[in-house]
Structure 1
Amino acid sequence: MIKSVSYKRHRFPPQIIAHAVWLYFRFPLSLRLVEEMLLERGIVVSYETVRRWALKFGLDYARRLRRKTPSRHDIWYLDEVLVTIAGQKYWLWRAVDQDGYVLDEIVQSRRDTKAAKRLLKRLLKKQGCLPRRMITDKLGSYAAARRQTIPSVDHRSHKGLNNRAENSHLPLRRREQMMQSFRSPGGLQRFTSVFSAVRNLFVPPRSRRSALATHLHRLNAMVGWKSAAGVVA
């Protein structure tokens, strides 16, 4: 059982801390902009404090958010994107399902079969079941990794079929520009783990929805976020 979030030795109320962390991970805002938005509400807090809150509570909140239930009918879309950190090249490997829900992502320094195999093993452990199909671009490492880990799964390799995975990188790219790049591979891994969990919660599935249904989805997401942060009234 996951323990409740502890706010001991923090002079600001949990509601303010949770709101600041939500602003930072939910919207394309810099730490200084979050500081300014809090000030508009009469909350005087430095951007460095917001940064510390994001580091301390972000992953804690994300672990408490309810995940989508895996299904054997899911389709896994896998892709990798180049991220340059301090002049060094790294690859962010990501898997999403047919609804655009981020299943997992991992920062690695390699772009080969070993790296692709590591992503698949993490997915199997986290999802607990095989997908109906796996779709990737034409990178040969995916086919080799599939043969070694999930040979029974249908694999389709075609760049045009993998737009869902490629599009999943765009929100993070926008945040990367706002943050003026990431400072370390570990920092990227921590940020994207929380960022994707929050996005999974608040962004409606890829299906036709009425304005009312979208509104209700976001209200329910806000309830889920406050519950994860332990600030439900």
Structure 2
Amino acid sequence: MRIALFITCVNDIAYPQTGIAVTRILERLGHTVDFPTAQTCCGQMHANTGYRAEALPMVHNYVEVFDRYDAIVTPSGSCTAMVRDQYPHLHPAAASVAARTYELSELLVDVLGVTDVGAEFAERVTYHPTCHGLRMLRLGDKPLALLRQVRGIQLVELGDPEECCGFGGTFALKNPDVSTAMLTDKCRRVLDTGASVLAAADNSCLAHIGGGLGRGRSGVRVMHYAEILASTGASA
């Protein structure tokens, strides 16, 4: 199977370790992962704020770059949802490549049939299901199924997990008071678990929650769940 990594803007710029983690997981399972250097932004920011015409060159580029692969994996529920949900409406030729674009847990569980990736991570962890993964991709418990197989992990349930963290891209900028109130509730739920690590499928949401936890000097770290799955030691 020819697999390509779509790293996404946020991860490429601020969280490159997440893309490295995805590659390590798949290589550990015996797969080769390509990284096409011509990839760019998926255009989600543009399309979601009404600039559909400006998003089209990025959609065209995505199709051109990734069409030759059997599977495209990305460590972002948000960007996966953009490609799968919006691309077919923006570019008629995008439907095929969009259908072959998977969030990491979808590729591992649904396509490769794997839940145990040989990870070890001896910490107390709670998981926040981000909105795009939860409501658009309907990931369900796939990320949790993978985390449950991690050796040494103590996985604890997050209270009211389906509540949004308040980030929502430009929502946090346009509605700062509401966003902050939602963030406060989410941080409180995280602290109630006693976890040392909060995991999620989107680093954008983790940046938002991590900012709140950091300002409160909570001591709780945030990590993309791919980084936990890539770990083979006591901690990352």
**TM-score in same-fold range (> 0.5):** no
TM-score normalised according to structure 1 size: 0.29
